[in-house]
Amino acid sequence: MNRRDFVVSAAATLALPHLGRFARLREAEPKIRFAVKYGMVDEGATVLEKFKLVKELGFHGIEMDSPSNLDRSEVIAARDETRLTIHGVVDSVHWRKPFSHPDAEVRAEGVAALETAVRDCKAYGGTTVLVVPAVVNKDVSYAEAWERSTREIKRVLPLCEELGIRIAFENVWNGFLLSPLEAARYVDSFESSLVGWYFDVGNIVNYGWPRHWIEALGNRIFKVDVKGFSRKRRNDQGLWKGFGVEIGDEQDDGNWDEVRAALGKLGYDSWATAEVGGGGRERLADIKARMDRVLANPLSAK
């Protein structure tokens, strides 16, 4: 081996540990795609105009509601023209027609609405339907909510299987599934890869810590909703005032560095969707910038 070959070989050998470290760091980066909820887009008179605005601001996608009054063909045409991904839909009636309701007719209406949402999601090219699985209140016990909701939601799984659409349960203030271990057990009770979790960072801060939920749910997490929440504002001004903080502000207790690190450990490469008060171009641009900051999104530069 001549001197030049020796130097090159030695340099490569010394670099290998560092290259491995850099590769691991790259692997730990959550490859997250950013979206907004359709209802947040106040600017634009048509679906197409709204989609164009969202695309121009650098979002990768959007999430629709279903059932809705929108014309499905108009939505699909707007998607095709703008190439803005519709990554999923939100069940729009799960609060009004909960799967845990004592009345079987109400539950049946909820199931029918979920079936519509699954079909709309497939037509739009999405992958998930966000679902509130049950509501516990003075008329519905925890056990009843668990039993009824699992029974009713299972009715829709054959359609999900046929169309390739997944159900993602979101943590909301519904008095149900209040710990991450319980949430994981609920998901697992369906014994289906089509059932998982839609993790809302802001919603959980009121009664938990986002990192704990991410670690416990692991790859059950299909997608993530992004919003801020302040415990101080909640304590000083009232429960719902906790949401009166912008994503990533000083009083936002989302602890986004931990969220990003926990998602990175999972190899999370799905969607993060803003679920906050919307507006026009300026407001949506600010939301996008905040999402970029708290999640350091590597796709934003592309």
| pLDDT top residue among 299 and 129 | 129
With 0.85 as the threshold, say if the pTM is over it.
yes
CB 37 within 8 A of CB 61: no
- Work out the end-to-end distance of the chain between its first and last CA atoms, rounded to an integer number of angstroms: 43
* 18 band by pLDDT with thresholds 50, 70 and 90: very low
> Between vectors from CA 72 to CA 68 and to CA 77, what angle results, nearest 5°?
135
**In angstroms, rounded to a whole number, what is the distance separating the alpha carbons of residues 104 and 207?**
31
The mean pLDDT value for 175-200 works out to 98
Banded pLDDT at 296 (limits 50, 70, 90) = confident
Cβ(30)–Cβ(223) under 8 Å?
no
Q: Cα(196)–Cα(170) distance, rounded to whole angstroms?
A: 9
Q: What pLDDT does 22 receive?
A: 39
Task: Name the one residue in this structure whose structure tokens are 């209040």.
Answer: 178
Burial class (CB in 10 A: 0-12, 13-18, 19+), 253: buried
> If you average pLDDT over residues 104-112, what whole number do you get?
99
Percentage of the chain lying above the pLDDT 70 cut: 88
CA separation, residue 234 to residues 7, 205, 231, 238, 276 (Å)? 62, 11, 5, 5, 17
Question: What values do phi and psi take at 123, rounded to 5?
Answer: -65, -35
Tens digit of pLDDT for each residue in 39-97? 999 999 999 999 999 999 999 999 999 999 999 999 999 999 999 999 999 999 999 99
